[in-house]
Structure 1
């Protein structure tokens, strides 16, 4: 680690920002790999004005910095920095509701759990996470992605100016921020249209591995017919942990209907454990899906394939093979290898387009039907174990991509929220969208502060 830049730290303090060494501040963490990166200091703004002052100090001193909001991503360097200053939004964590406009005003330090519970008294909810700290929404089939429900972004640019970006003002920046990550400025508030209901039905069902074929068939057929029921969603996971393998399905219906016809095939399969209820969305984001994977050392890897039943089986076979390799490489280790399938459908993308579109380029991905987003969550108990078997996990990721290639199912699209640091999700938005993002960056960030000095998260392709 380089010596701290004392001039930067003193300048930040003189601006009145709350600053602390890492040893004095314990932010929420996704994994030890992230929290182990110790910056020169962490600065905790309480307003957009604070952020503006901070940006001016950082740019004046050409100081490297990192951004930290909900600390979602699981790779080291996603939201923390070793040599520089981390701007931590932990103090900007409130959500307020404008009943007349039907808009939730969300500060960047909020988690979805906090957002949803803040909206409960008003009988509304937000298009946000299925787990309290993160997520692809229960509402995606009816509302699109969370970014598609945004009405306005408040942004602090690289020169310290505070602007708003929406469909009428700075509309090019507005579209860029719907998928472009932290490449254009510090987002200090998100104004999002709400859903005028805050209850739903959800179930977490556990099955014996001998029921895999039945369960995979149910998932596959559900996704084929999801356009007929945009209130219902499903995802399926095959999980290895210290107790062995198990199968899990997460089912949900935003109209609070557990008997929706979309679930008939699932309901014909007897689970060994079922947890289901109608409840507030804020309660169900944890109860139905379990806590987020906050393991000691966590790696997420993601990709997308065509909606191909054979590919699901081949990925599952590869998972079983790699679990054995990992056990052989580290016999005394404690690790979890979790593979999740979730559908990305035409319905999700159609709603995105209807709301003004984003830069994700998914309309090309689902042009010939639904796709399978696969997510590998790899969690280990010690750094030594990670060093022993993480290379095998990365090999497993490569094996999945090889399976997709060999079966003509490769979609070449990685979901940024789930991607690992060695992936390049923004480059997969297509040449036209990448060129658009680069032009917006040149327009709003003339000194390229968020390409040169920002050291966290994914940058625009060069």
Structure 2
């Protein structure tokens, strides 16, 4: 029996039933849960079922086809009350569920389920700005490009995503690396308040004055503690940024890698500037680039001289608004491809030699991956390195703290956070490419171990499902997350029934 037929049966069984099924009549299968959801006032018209246009449109809107699982139904809430009702049904009926805000995470099970209900926040996507408080209130389904556009007329910006298609909810609760990280910390540290729907359906605000334990624990713990329905963000009183791509000849890579090392070591001298080193492969060409930015719109600041002094092949840097700059950095983002993302970290002390190893090993694996894919498929790869200095931790502590667990990791110097992302366009190529990607990442980790420099910290928003990023936060941070879970979700709904994303480390 298909999902649609099962769902019809479940609806027939529940005609006249109350919206909330009591514990003595627990429902745990997907079609019954969708039927229970349909009995809630105000939600019936917001459910998308298999074999309907809306359901198919939502599946096709995923960036990652790996993540586009087909649930028994989807709920597309429009209000916080809708989300509250959803949690009542889920908790009372023990329904498996997944959470999607922007849906940009890449792995299977990141933001949807195939054994229950996916709550899709795409219709909760508004951004408002209060000129008196200078707070931007953003719903979780908003994309960062739209957020910047909404704030631009007010002459303000937010510490948000560097790609316009990334959603707000997952980005912020996963930490969130932004252009303003040096002055605002992680995006989660720029949060003034979270509006949260708890497992029992109650709606609370979490901030430094109310539910401060939950407020801190949500900053980096992803979807483990509740459903965020609004993020109130502190804003920045300027929209202007200088930045762009500089592309280099590979013969000059040692100079680029050395410049990165020194920039990260001296990060505190110019926290408005940032650098990301990138190795990008597409259409048979591997390029070396840096993304240089300055959020005070200073053109080619002295802190970046070591990069700008290197002969480049091209330079796209300009001064513009963040709303204009972010789409430039994002570029084309095709939907329905098969991406695989991994993250890791090392001590900045050995970053130059690690980047050289990364480059040499990447060249080897490009050949292996090209040989593994079909002739009608295409392969693209992005590898990046970005600094995580002590400055980020200091800002976090000033703003109430987070649970990313970085304090001890940067005590002896900056951390260097790396990304490896490989994408193919054809489903048949995904298994072979994933296996090769895991091999490549294992080599990176082993090399970092051999240098005695592996920090074993994985940026959650870039991590693959097997990397368990929360484990890298350390015992103290994990204890705070667990304490918040026990206080605000005593039945463990977000551990037992949420079947998407990362869980609290056992």
Q: TM-score, normalised by structure 1?
A: 0.96
Q: Please show how residues 16-415 of structure 1 align to structure 2 within 5 Å.
A: 16-17=42-43, 18-22=46-50, 23-25=52-54, 26-27=57-58, 28-35=61-68, 37-134=69-166, 136-291=177-332, 296-307=337-348, 308=350, 309-330=352-373, 332=375, 333-415=377-459
> Which stretch has the larger CA shift, 242-251 or 290-299?
290-299
Residues in 2 aligned to 1:382 and 1:242: alpha-carbon distance in whole angstroms:
15
Whether the 8 Å CA contact 1:303–1:412 is kept in 2: the answer is: yes
Per-residue CA deviations over 1:97-137 (Å, capped at 9, x if unaligned) read 11111111110101111111111111101011111133620
The alpha-carbon deviation at position 9 of structure 1 amounts to 2.2
Whether the 8 Å CA contact 2:75–2:117 is kept in 1: the answer is: yes
The alpha-carbon deviation at position 422 of structure 1 amounts to 1.1
Per-residue CA deviations over 1:374-428 (Å, capped at 9, x if unaligned) read 1001011211222222211100000000010000110010011111111101111
Whether the 8 Å CA contact 1:304–1:411 is kept in 2: the answer is: yes
User: 1:10 is matched with which residue?
Assistant: 35
Structure 2 residue 501 is the aligned partner of structure 1 residue 457: yes
The alpha-carbon deviation at position 76 of structure 1 amounts to 1.2
The alpha-carbon deviation at position 291 of structure 1 amounts to 4.4
Residues in 2 aligned to 1:295 and 1:209: alpha-carbon distance in whole angstroms:
32
Whether the 8 Å CA contact 1:204–1:289 is kept in 2: the answer is: no
Pairs aligned (count): 461
> Which stretch has the larger CA shift, 126-135 or 434-443?
126-135
- Label 1:276 to 1:104 Cα distance change in 2 as closer, same or farther (>3 A): same
Question: 2:465 aligns to what SS in structure 1?
Answer: coil
Question: 1:109 aligns to what SS in structure 2?
Answer: coil
Residues in 1 aligned to 2:281 and 2:427: alpha-carbon distance in whole angstroms:
19
> Which stretch has the larger CA shift, 53-62 or 63-72?
53-62
Q: Structure 2: which 5+ residue stretches go unaligned?
A: 8-29, 167-175
> Which stretch has the larger CA shift, 3-12 or 376-385?
3-12
Question: 2:236 aligns to what SS in structure 1?
Answer: coil
The alpha-carbon deviation at position 294 of structure 1 amounts to 5.5
Per-residue CA deviations over 1:71-107 (Å, capped at 9, x if unaligned) read 1211111111101000011110001011111111110
The alpha-carbon deviation at position 6 of structure 1 amounts to 4.0
- Label 1:205 to 1:291 Cα distance change in 2 as closer, same or farther (>3 A): farther
Residues in 2 aligned to 1:328 and 1:43: alpha-carbon distance in whole angstroms:
42
Residues in 1 aligned to 2:340 and 2:406: alpha-carbon distance in whole angstroms:
24
- Label 1:270 to 1:331 Cα distance change in 2 as closer, same or farther (>3 A): farther
> Which stretch has the larger CA shift, 397-406 or 127-136?
127-136
Q: Structure 1: which 5+ residue stretches go unaligned?
A: none
Question: 2:105 aligns to what SS in structure 1?
Answer: coil
Residues in 1 aligned to 2:337 and 2:107: alpha-carbon distance in whole angstroms:
12
Residues in 2 aligned to 1:295 and 1:373: alpha-carbon distance in whole angstroms:
27
CA RMSD of aligned residues (A): 1.6
Per-residue CA deviations over 1:302-359 (Å, capped at 9, x if unaligned) read 0000111212211221111111222333473521122111111111221111211100
Whether the 8 Å CA contact 2:247–2:288 is kept in 1: the answer is: yes
Residues in 1 aligned to 2:118 and 2:468: alpha-carbon distance in whole angstroms:
23
User: 2:466 is matched with which residue?
Assistant: 422
The alpha-carbon deviation at position 8 of structure 1 amounts to 2.6
Whether the 8 Å CA contact 1:209–1:245 is kept in 2: the answer is: no
- Label 1:45 to 1:331 Cα distance change in 2 as closer, same or farther (>3 A): closer
Residues in 2 aligned to 1:149 and 1:238: alpha-carbon distance in whole angstroms:
30
Q: TM-score, normalised by structure 2?
A: 0.88
